[in-house]
Amino acid sequence: MTDKKNGTGDKIYLAGISVTFLNDGDCTDPEPQEIVFKTENNGVGNFVVIETERWSASDVDALVAMVRKFASIASDFLGESLKEEELL
């Protein structure tokens, strides 16, 4: 059966979510810093991955805020079953 939304018989899935945060560096390393919160699928289900070479924060509330922001974006995708979400 042809899918009317994408014109093929293929289903389209949301394969992952990635959120990247940047800061201007710190007093020890003035280079911009990046931290990525993302989902990956190991063939069985989705899980969360955090990647950074270096990340600094002056207080823990900033880190908590980033985790909460990612959680609010990714929670529907990850769900309780941790399975791919079928979009079409």
pTM beyond 0.75, yes or no: no
Domain ranges of the chain: 14-86
Indicate the DSSP class of residue 28: S
Residue 6 has pLDDT above 50, yes or no: yes
pLDDT: is 85 or 39 the higher one? Answer: 39
Q: Which of 40, 34, 51 lies closest to 74, judged by CA?
A: 40
Q: Which of 40, 39, 38 lies closest to 19, judged by CA?
A: 38
pLDDT: is 80 or 23 the higher one? Answer: 23
Note the pLDDT tens digit of each residue in 38-48: 999 888 888 89
Residue 84 has pLDDT above 60, yes or no: no
pLDDT at 8: 66
pLDDT at 4: 55
**Tokens at residue 66, please?**
């980033």
Q: What is the mean pLDDT of residues 47-51?
A: 93
pLDDT at 10: 79
Give the whole-angstrom CA distance, residue 70 versus residue 75: 8
